[in-house]
Amino acid sequence: MEYAMVTGASRGLGRATAERLAKDGYPVIVNYRGNEKAAQEVVDSIMAAGGKAEAVKFDVSNKTMVDAALEAWESVHPDDYISVLVNNAGIRQDSLLVFMQDDQWQSVVDTTLGGFYFLTRRIVKNMMTHRNGRIVNISSVSGLKGMPGQCNYSAAKAGLIGASKALAQEVAPRKVTVNVVAPGFIASDMTAELDQEAIKKLVPLGRIGKPEEVAALISFLVSKEAAYITGQVISINGGVI
């Protein structure tokens, strides 16, 4: 059976994506880092809607945890493979560069780029064997435009775009696609503390985006209809850039 894995699926965009992919018919692996209660809520909501899901805890930036979690999953699912991977887990630790602490830089880069690297290199191998796979990496308007106070986050999200474009060319002959979704301001815990009225003024469409709108885009990119789209960055930002 083909599974979809969504990292950072206990909350926000990841949760909406997990729920959407379950509605699309995928059994979903709901990854989370620490918030077990929230992850279980996502699994319960998917099951209540008639879908299939399991929560799997690991820190995407930790190679040992990633390897152990994937090995454990594979041993319980010898006939299954992950054909859809959404690298969504991300954090921000904003600071002007002159004041930035080493751990603010490192944790953001490790979560976005380390997470992509540790997980994708393992999962893409099976996709290539099956000549079938969809990878969607979640970047940001910050990775396209750069945002003051986010040198760490902008660097990580821009790096993710470069890695995605390179990987897309590596795996295209095996019918695996790799694309990037670059959201603008989307309602979630990550943006909850920002001045919502000030943000709306920056957005030509005059509102903050919904996680379900990002999930719908991801749903399309992983569908059979999107087989000819690879190596692309698709923005979803209300017209911000």
- Do 215 and 6 form a contact (C-beta atoms < 8 A)? no
Binding site for ligand NAP (CB under 6 A): 7-14, 31-35, 38, 59-61, 88-91, 111, 138, 140, 183, 185-186, 188-191
Looking at the Cβ atoms of 22 and 138, the one nearer to ligand NAP is: 138
Q: Integer distance in angstroms from the first to the last C-alpha of the chain?
A: 39
Min dist. Cβ of residue 228 to ligand NAP (A): 25
**Beta carbons of 153 and 147 less than 8 angstroms apart:** yes
- As measured in angstroms, the least distance from the Cβ of 174 to ligand NAP is 26
Q: Which two tokens stand for residue 136?
A: 């969607």
Question: Which residue among 3, 26, 81, 153 is the active-site one?
Answer: 153
Q: For helices 211-221 and 12-23, what crossing angle results, to 10°? A: 50
Task: Answer yes or no: 26 catalytic.
Answer: no
Nearer residue to ligand NAP within complex by CB, 89 or 124: 89
**Least Å from the CB of residue 66 to ligand NAP:** 9
SS3 per-residue string spanning 83-127 = EEEEECCCCCCCECHHHCCHHHHHHHHHHHHHHHHHHHHHHHHHH
Neighbours of 183 (CB within 10 A): 24
**Residue 51 or 90 having the CB closest to ligand NAP:** 90
Nearer to ligand NAP, 83 or 107 (CB): 107
Catalytic positions:
153
